[in-house]
Structure 1
């Protein structure tokens, strides 16, 4: 794969969107060939806006990935919004359980976004598009619908890297583990325990880029390797996240 034809950048959302949006990102493939990329489970879901010659050609919503998937990208550009699960309740008021490990087409009007404005701004710069999306999402925040207990649940799982037991979180929240599990399944299509495992795995990826024997958060190294193979099909020693552009989110573009 020719790395110099691939561009990938991430951008930080407005601070008021921090509970709902992990990041905005931009991808560009300038070659005439199809490139395949391996997307790792990370506990987020994305809205993908695909461009060709400055025109929007498709908009897709992905579900949560509970396994590594390989996707083929053609020549063109994509601007993505990487959402946190809490956005489903307090920002977007939708559910994605039916597209677990999958995606569906979704018109931008459903998000309060205007195709024509985005296309006009895309002729100027990616930053102009992202600024417009950022400002539009700020208008969608539904503070009156904020579920404090659900927010606390996601915060505890995230801050503990998925290690804190679901029972201890349910005790702190004041909801039964069964109720929390039902709520999680209704939102994203997987159990609270499975979501926490994905978060633990996602946080381990940043560490193994530096040290492939770092299995902090797991009972032992064999448990870590077993979980890693479950999500990727590989052992930690068999992949190099920072040196292989197939792992787009983890590739070290600055070192090209």
Structure 2
């Protein structure tokens, strides 16, 4: 990843319940870069182009398995990583049908064009302005369900470590209704999503060589089993990160 330009920035505080980050990857080299992407609980909207592909926009659904891809030579990709709160209220469409896959969006989605990818700060500001307007409309129309906002606040605040029972109690919403909502809107259960968040929480520890469980895991066996389930590798193998192929352990936070 040392020859590929990468930047990531966090959203303003008032967008934090809906947006996790903005990021960009630019490969100005002659060679493509093979990478492995692991499940991380994010929903990404990609704005991209390369010498071989015209500007286009795609929506990446949740993943519960790793997949192999590449960063093409002479390519530019800017993206926004959304929290699940944004799916119903900002995208207004279920992502369950694109679990472990992607969907093409219109080339003028959210008013972003190829020229907006000339400047990462400009891109972030333009996306922020769009999202602020969308959120304002939802608030004015009283569209937000406070149960769901409380639920997602707890899920993200604990990195998925809160139990289904705790989440249901805080949200004042039955676990059965929550699981129906998760399956209909996101394509997996609440428990599975929380486990993916716990798995993602281990990335920073593994990068630092801490190959033992932190607070989110009950014991070493549970930790290793979860890491192998979602990455296909042991924590030690991920730490080695041969050829920087596990991109989330190389650059992304």
**Shared fold per TM-score greater than 0.5:** yes
What corresponds to 1:239 in structure 2? 238
CA offsets, 1:178-229, max 9 Å, x none? 0010011111100011011111111122222221123432221011101110
CA offsets, 1:138-182, max 9 Å, x none? 111122211211111111122222222101221232211100100
- CA change 1:252–1:121 in 2 (3 A) is closer
Matching residue within 132, 136, 139 for 1:138: 132
Which whole-Å CA distance do the structure 2 matches of 1:121 and 1:101 have between them? 28
Matches within 5 A, 1:53-132: 57-75=55-73, 76-109=75-108, 111-115=109-113, 119-123=114-118, 125-132=119-126
What corresponds to 1:167 in structure 2? 165
What residue ranges of structure 1 are gaps of 5+ in the alignment?
none
Greater shift after overlay, 21-30 or 154-163?
154-163
Matches within 5 A, 1:4-83: 4-52=2-50, 57-75=55-73, 76-83=75-82
Which whole-Å CA distance do the structure 1 matches of 2:242 and 2:215 have between them? 23
Which whole-Å CA distance do the structure 2 matches of 1:140 and 1:129 have between them? 17
What corresponds to 2:218 in structure 1? 219
- CA change 1:138–1:66 in 2 (3 A) is same
How many pairs were matched up?
A: 245
**Shift in Å at residue 56 of structure 1?**
5.4
Which whole-Å CA distance do the structure 1 matches of 2:242 and 2:12 have between them? 31
**Shift in Å at residue 57 of structure 1?**
1.8
Q: TM-score by structure 2 length?
A: 0.89
Which whole-Å CA distance do the structure 2 matches of 1:245 and 1:213 have between them? 21
CA offsets, 1:66-90, max 9 Å, x none? 1222112212110011000000122
Query: What secondary structure sits across from 1:24 in the alignment?
Result: strand
- CA change 1:80–1:114 in 2 (3 A) is closer
**Shift in Å at residue 5 of structure 1?**
2.4
CA offsets, 1:98-128, max 9 Å, x none? 000110111144x43242xxx33434x2211
Which whole-Å CA distance do the structure 2 matches of 1:197 and 1:79 have between them? 27
What corresponds to 1:182 in structure 2? 180
What corresponds to 1:248 in structure 2? 247
Tell me, yes or no, if the aligned pair for 2:48 and 2:55 is still in contact at 8 Å.
yes
Q: TM-score by structure 1 length?
A: 0.88
Which whole-Å CA distance do the structure 2 matches of 1:172 and 1:5 have between them? 46
Which whole-Å CA distance do the structure 2 matches of 1:114 and 1:28 have between them? 17
